[in-house]
Amino acid sequence: MLSASPDVMEQKWVKKFRAWFVDYVAGFYGDDEYLNANVKLKEDHTQRTCEEIRYLAKELDLSGNQTRIAEVIALFHDIGRFEQFVRYRTYVDSRSVNHCLLGLEILRQTKVLDGVAYPERQLIEKAVEYHGSRELPKDLDGECLLFSKLIRDADKIDVLYVVTDYYRQYADNPQGFKLEIELPDGPEYSTEVVKELLRGQRIDYSELRTLNDMKLCQLGWVYDVNFTPTLKRIKQRRLLEMLVDFLPKNKDIERVKEKIFEYVDFRISQEKKEHNGNLSHMI
């Protein structure tokens, strides 16, 4: 679709990809209200993730070219979600398909990236492929590592926003709720999940039994955040406080809250060192 083969990501390409995305997603809307609500959720998530990644790129002093590549990654990171929902009517990968790999397949089938020079195209494809993995492959380095980390952070900021909004809508009107609730909603939560969070560990999705476990797991995402500006954004928006508000009020949850908040504040207090040290070797 795009004929030139630039060796850098030009702004006009980003514009064309944005238009392509809107057009692609438009094809998924129809008469099914449940499907429309779910497609809209991911379309809006994508647009906001693009904003978050631009914020991170700015905070981390990335170049203009790197910022544009990052935005294209954010634009395409969940491109597999739409096909996933149409085919399986769920966004739960374990019940359907790995949406990152499906996304990669769609990028290739549609040939949307065909005009992009190989190094940039590979950076985009790898970041899309790895954005939902539990761990990044150990052998990633350089810009491939940088962009893979960036999209994981930008995605987390917006998903935390989405889920807090989602829990609020569900609490306000459970019957009228048009989105998918993956786990049973009740007052229960797993004590093992609480223990792991108190030990500073992330929670694996396979351990989740209830909606409260999912909320606890989402609190634990902070342990997997790569860049301090991500934590600053999460803190500034009070996303963790909002999540805690949807959990039972008791000592366990209080302790988890204290641990998580302490961790976030500690990381923010270390920011200067990190900025001068960890990041500089990756760019």
235: left (phi over 0), alpha (psi -120 to 50) or beta: alpha
**Minimal CA–CA distance to 54: which of 79, 78, 72, 36?**
72
If binding is defined by CB under 5 A, does position 78 make contact with Fe ion?
yes
Nearer Cβ to Fe ion (103/220): 103
CB-based burial of residue 87 (10 Å sphere; 0-12 exposed, 13-18 middle, 19+ buried)? exposed
Nearer Cβ to Fe ion (78/153): 78
CB-based burial of residue 15 (10 Å sphere; 0-12 exposed, 13-18 middle, 19+ buried)? exposed
CB of 149 to Fe ion, least distance (A): 15
If binding is defined by CB under 5 A, does position 129 make contact with Fe ion?
no
The site string for Fe ion over 79-118 (x = CB under 5 A, - otherwise) reads ----------------------------------------
Site for Fe ion in 2-61 (CB under 5 A): none
- Helix, strand, coil tally for the chain in percent (to 5): 65, 0, 35
Nearer Cβ to Fe ion (65/98): 98
If binding is defined by CB under 5 A, does position 143 make contact with Fe ion?
no
Q: Which amino acid is present at 33? A: E
If binding is defined by CB under 5 A, does position 158 make contact with Fe ion?
no
If binding is defined by CB under 5 A, does position 125 make contact with Fe ion?
no
Contacts of 205 (CB under 8 A, 6+ apart): 94, 217
CB of 43 to Fe ion, least distance (A): 13
CB of 147 to Fe ion, least distance (A): 15
Which residues contact Fe ion (rule: CB under 5 A)? 78, 132
